[in-house]
Amino acid sequence: MNMQRYILVKEKLSMRHLAMLYKEEVGEELLEEWMRAREAVRYSFLSPVVGEVVVNDLRLSLPYGLSCIVDSYGYISVLPEPIMVKDCIDHDFIRYLLYDLPKMLDEDRRPVLVEGFDERFTKNAVQGLIYAGDILKRVGIMYRVPVAVKYCINTLGYLKWVNTYIIVKREGRTYLQQLPENIYFEVRDYE
């Protein structure tokens, strides 16, 4: 993905939002303001938003940062009610992640959920997923909120996740596997 296509031009952004962006995403017009924002945000701490991955009666902590949820059965939900990332693709998706999502978090910090992550790009999919994952990671860290990417079987090798949660069925039982710890939690079967 060419980051130059996403340069900001005279948009009003919070200091935290501006500091989250890369220099190449900001452009020359806002470079001085971007440098001030990065310095100011370095000393401005937010308490982390704690989320939960919920499978029926099992609740696991969902830390701030980027996590992956692989759940082809539709068992996993995220609490508190997350901001659902708009269903858009390609450049619209990147633009939404760079500009719209941080603006929403400026107003209401809570977990973020991205569904259908693997299906968000129709061309240059690997590059797009890596770039989108990088943006989501920055959003999660800068705003200190959990960002859960759902249904990302094809992207497990491309991105660095804080945690990965996978629904596994073995011998008629359902488990929630948590990586990187490789811990299995048995959950009540839904069938």
Please answer whether residues 78 and 53 qualify as being in contact, where contact means their C-beta atoms are separated by less than 8 angstroms.
yes
Please answer whether residues 44 and 16 qualify as being in contact, where contact means their C-beta atoms are separated by less than 8 angstroms.
yes
> How far apart, in whole angstroms, are the C-alpha atoms of residue 32 and residue 142?
19
Summarize pLDDT for 79-97 with one digit per residue, the tens.
999 999 999 999 999 999 9
Based on the fold, state whether residues 9 and 101 are members of the same structural domain.
Answer: no
Based on the fold, state whether residues 84 and 167 are members of the same structural domain.
Answer: yes
The widest CA-to-CA distance across the chain, in whole angstroms, is 60
For 168, the domain range is 48-187
Summarize pLDDT for 7-43 with one digit per residue, the tens.
454 567 899 999 999 988 887 888 898 899 998 887 7
Mean pLDDT of 99-113: 96
% pLDDT > 70, the chain = 88
> How far apart, in whole angstroms, are the C-alpha atoms of residue 37 and residue 30?
10
Containing H/E element for 51?
A: strand 51-55
Q: What is the pLDDT of residue 72?
A: 80
% pLDDT > 90, the chain = 45
Q: What is the pLDDT of residue 144?
A: 96
Q: What is the pTM of this model?
A: 0.87
Based on the fold, state whether residues 82 and 12 are members of the same structural domain.
Answer: no
Based on the fold, state whether residues 81 and 171 are members of the same structural domain.
Answer: yes
Residue 124's region, left for phi above 0, alpha for psi from -120 to 50, else beta, is left
Summarize pLDDT for 54-76 with one digit per residue, the tens.
988 889 899 999 998 888 888 89
Given a cut of 80, whether residue 137 has pLDDT beyond it is yes
Handedness of CA 102, 105, 110, 114 (dihedral sign): negative
Nearest to 114 by CA among 148, 160, 162: 148
Based on the fold, state whether residues 104 and 176 are members of the same structural domain.
Answer: yes
Name the average pLDDT for the chain: 86
Based on the fold, state whether residues 37 and 52 are members of the same structural domain.
Answer: no
